[in-house]
């Protein structure tokens, strides 16, 4: 499962680059109502009118209240979704299917923004009665109104928000789920603050001009999400190197008589730092170094012999710590410093794909009868 820090960073970056425009297009009306409807009642007569700075609240005060309410509700939702995911403990491929579903949902959302007929009814929307209720509430002068409207935005999710909610489910942890949703709201905050300020100053015409730009951004995020899902599910890998990083590694014997390699070829001394080796008992050891990335990302190993994969954490961090082998249903959190061992059994010839839980970093182990 992804770490809370990795999910927080993912949430912030997604909110910053895609979620802000996406959510503003859906929730812009509520934001505009929350920050532009509040006004201090005018004095009963001009004679009693006195300059009072409190008549015009600071432009960002209602925006801040709106965002605070939004942050609270989304963080709580993320924690609940994390609890739900922890109860179910979805497999890597189930998580990948959820990511694919989120990507498809974002595509539909983008097409709806472009005005394509026939897709609007496929996009989830809040009940019409809820929208009317929130707009009526926005007309009040209560100081708490923007915060309450921000709190209620959790019921008006945009396409990117829904993908973050699915990611919170797959995190399997209330802390990680809360982290990804809180990070997402923080990432959307700059655009919401800017729009709120403009709305507060009377530039509400901008709210109708976001659809086209939002659609392009959401399509790009959807494509990235679905490609990551395909890799996270172990169905394909798009970034593994074309040249295996093994050299003579599969033939090195540890603890032998030093006479040579196990696969023939006399006089070969063990190669220092080789990622694939064979110990004295005949077990094949494949070592993957995990920092913020995987190194190397492709191995050639011998098929038909007992094999252990060693995940060597070396100040590991980010998504790379959440290691998965989708075909085997393996999910491991790599130690920040130290080794984590995974028994791969005796593999038949073929390629075994691995990745981080979010499908952003991938690699492969190519098992062959003759790995030379």
* Phi, psi angle pair for 309, to nearest 5°: -95, 125
Q: Residue-wise over 346-355: b if at least 16 C-beta within 10 A, else e?
A: ebeeeebbbb
**88 and 211 housed in the same domain:** yes
Domains of the chain: total: 2
Q: What is the pLDDT of residue 139?
A: 54
Are residues 217 and 135 both part of a single domain? yes
pLDDT for position 362: 92
Burial grade of 360 (CB within 10 A; 0-12, 13-18, 19 or more): buried
Q: Given a cut of 50, is residue 239 above it in pLDDT?
A: yes
Residue 326 scores a pLDDT above 90: yes
Instruction: Please state the rounded mean pLDDT for residues 40-65.
Output: 56
Q: Identify the domain containing residue 282 by its residue range.
A: 249-255+274-368
Query: Whole-model pTM above 0.85?
Result: no
Kindly state whether residue 172 falls inside one of the protein's structural domains.
yes
Mean pLDDT of all residues belonging to the chain: 74
Average pLDDT over residues 247-252: 39
What is the chain's percent helix, strand, coil content, to nearest 5? 50, 15, 35
* pLDDT score of 53: 46
> 116-160: per-residue pLDDT in tens?
887 767 766 555 665 565 555 555 555 567 788 788 787 766 667
First to last CA, the chain: 35
Q: Can you tell me whether residue 269 is helix, strand or coil? A: coil
Please check whether residue 63 lies inside any domain of the structure: yes
Q: For residues 259-275, give the mean pLDDT.
A: 44
Q: Is residue 2 very low, low, confident or very high in pLDDT (cuts 50, 70, 90)?
A: low
CATH number at residue 301: 2.60.40.420
Q: Can you tell me the mean pLDDT for 30-36?
A: 65
- pLDDT above 90 for 63: no
Are 224 and 289 within one domain?
no
Quick one: average pLDDT of 255-260? 41
Per the CB < 8 A criterion, the answer to whether 107 and 221 are in contact is no
């Amino acid at each position: 499962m992804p770490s809370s820090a990795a999910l927080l960073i993912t949430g912030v970056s997604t909110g910053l680059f895609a979620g802000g425009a996406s959510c503003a297009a859906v929730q812009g009306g509520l934001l505009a109502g929350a920050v532009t409807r509040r006004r201090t009642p005018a004095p009963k007569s001009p004679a009693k009118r006195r300059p009072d700075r409190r008549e015009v609240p600071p432009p960002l005060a209602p925006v801040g209240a709106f965002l605070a309410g939004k942050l609270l509700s989304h963080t709580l939702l993320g924690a609940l979704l994390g609890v739900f995911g922890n109860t179910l403990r979805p497999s890597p491929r189930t998580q990948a299917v959820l990511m694919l579903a989120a990507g498809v949902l974002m595509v539909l959302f983008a097409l709806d923004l472009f005005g394509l007929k026939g897709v609007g009814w496929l996009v989830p929307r809040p009940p019409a009665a809820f929208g009317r209720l929130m707009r009526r509430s926005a007309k009040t002068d209560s100081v708490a109104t923007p915060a309450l409207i921000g709190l209620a935005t959790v019921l008006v999710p945009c396409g990117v928000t829904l993908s973050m909610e699915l990611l919170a489910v797959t995190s399997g942890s209330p802390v990680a789920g809360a982290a990804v949703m809180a990070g997402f709201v923080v990432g959307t905050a700059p655009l919401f603050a800017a729009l709120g300020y403009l709305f507060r100053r009377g530039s509400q015409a901008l709210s109708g001009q976001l659809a086209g730009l939002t659609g392009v951004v959401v399509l790009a995020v959807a494509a990235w999400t679905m490609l990551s899902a395909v890799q996270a599910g172990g169905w394909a890998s798009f970034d593994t190197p074309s040249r295996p990083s093994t050299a003579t590694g599969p033939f090195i014997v540890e603890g032998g008589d030093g006479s040579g390699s196990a696969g023939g070829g006399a006089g070969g001394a063990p190669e220092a730092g080789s990622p694939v080796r064979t110990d004295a008992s005949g077990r094949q050891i494949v070592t993957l170094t995990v920092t913020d990335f995987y190194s190397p990302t492709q191995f050639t190993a011998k098929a038909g012999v007992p094999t252990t994969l060693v995940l060597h954490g070396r100040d590991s961090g980010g998504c790379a710590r959440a290691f998965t082998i989708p075909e085997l249903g393996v999910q491991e959190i790599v130690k920040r410093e130290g080794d984590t061992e995974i028994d791969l059994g005796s593999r038949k010839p073929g390629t075994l794909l691995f990745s981080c839980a979010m499908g952003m970093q991938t690699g492969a182990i190519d098992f062959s009868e003759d790995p030379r």
